[in-house]
């Protein structure tokens, strides 16, 4: 077992409310107890075939970019079918020897559908219109679930929940990237 400290960081949160999905991600990347970067951009817009998808990732950046490229190819092969593309990606991720080594998780949405994709072959549709991944994911998820009982819109819920996670999790900061997408 290596004594090399692991990379930590990332909180990605998605909130669906009022016909919109907001995906928010913090900007911190840490190595052990050191903050390496505070302004990483872990939420991105993809536009394969003209239909927009928003994706957020947690884990190894290179691994996540590999998965995002694969997702784009799956979306190009299955235009307008996010669920099918997500299932195909998860299937490949689980069975391909190269992809099995990738250490990342994804949250993806087209504004209507919302999924968490894992290397274990999971394509999870969240309950309660909220999902989160990463080091501070559970803190952001709990905060967002509580805020869903308020009158706040999706972006306000996401921003407040991420602020709460940043106050609790040392691997999460308040430097956010926020992307919003409406139901098609």
Angle, vertex CA 52, rays to CA 98 and CA 176, nearest 5: 80
Average of per-residue pLDDT across 3-17:
74
The pLDDT value recorded for residue 61 is 79
Q: Is residue 154 part of a domain?
A: yes
Per-residue model confidence as pLDDT tens digits over 88-115: 999 888 887 777 777 788 999 999 999 9
Domain contains 180: no
Residue 56 belongs to a domain: yes
Helix (H) or strand (E) holding 150: none
What is the edge-to-edge ordering of all strands in the sheet holding 130-134? 130-134, 11-17, 20-25, 177-182
Strand segments, DSSP code E, in the chain are 7-8, 11-17, 20-25, 29-31, 34-37, 43-46, 53-59, 104-109, 114-117, 123-124, 130-134, 177-182
- Position 5 scores a pLDDT of 44
Q: Is residue 19 part of a domain?
A: yes
Higher confidence at residue 122 or residue 1? 122
10: annotated active-site residue: yes
The catalytic position among 10, 11, 109, 131 is 10
Distance CA 184, CA 166 (A): 32
Most confident of 44-53, 66-75, 151-160: 151-160
5: left (phi over 0), alpha (psi -120 to 50) or beta: beta
Based on the structure, what is the number of domains in the chain?
A: 1
- Count H helices and E strands in the chain, helices first: 5, 12
Answer yes or no: is 164 within a domain. yes
Q: Report pLDDT digits (tens) over 54-84.
A: 999 988 778 888 889 989 999 999 888 999 9
Domain assignment present for residue 100? The answer is: yes
79-102 burial by CB neighbour count: b if 16+ within 10 A, else e?
Answer: eebbeebbbbbbebbeeeeebeeb
Q: What is the pTM of this model?
A: 0.92
- Supply 41's token pair: 């951009």
Q: Identify the CATH number of the domain in which residue 127 sits.
A: 3.60.20.10
pLDDT at res. 8: 55
The pLDDT value given to residue 130: 98
Query: Is the residue at 1 inside a domain?
Result: no
Q: Give the pLDDT of residue 50.
A: 67
| Torsion angle, alpha carbons of 180, 182, 183, 184, to 10 | -120
Instruction: Give a yes or no: residue 69 inside a domain.
Output: yes
Look up the domain containing 163 and give its range.
Answer: 7-173
Phi and psi torsions of 32, nearest 5°: 65, -125
Cβ within 8 Å of residue 39, ≥6 positions away? 27, 175
């Amino acid at each position: 077992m290596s004594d090399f400290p692991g990379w930590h960081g990332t909180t990605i949160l998605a909130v669906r409310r009022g016909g919109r999905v907001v995906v928010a991600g913090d900007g911190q990347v840490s190595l052990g107890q050191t903050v390496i970067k505070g302004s990483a951009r872990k939420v991105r817009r993809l536009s394969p075939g003209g239909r927009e998808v928003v994706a957020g990732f947690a884990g190894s950046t290179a691994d996540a970019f590999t998965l995002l490229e694969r997702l784009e190819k799956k979306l190009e092969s299955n235009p307008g079918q996010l669920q099918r593309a997500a299932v195909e990606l998860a299937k490949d991720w689980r069975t391909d020897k190269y992809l099995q080594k990738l250490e990342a998780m994804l949250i993806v949405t087209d504004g209507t559908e919302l999924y968490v994709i894992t290397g274990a072959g999971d394509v999870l549709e969240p309950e309660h219109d909220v999902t989160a991944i990463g080091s501070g994911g559970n803190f952001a998820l709990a905060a967002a679930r509580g805020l869903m009982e308020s009158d706040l819109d999706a972006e306000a819920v996401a921003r407040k929940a991420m602020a709460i996670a940043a106050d609790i999790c040392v691997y999460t900061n308040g430097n956010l990237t926020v992307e919003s997408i409406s139901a098609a």
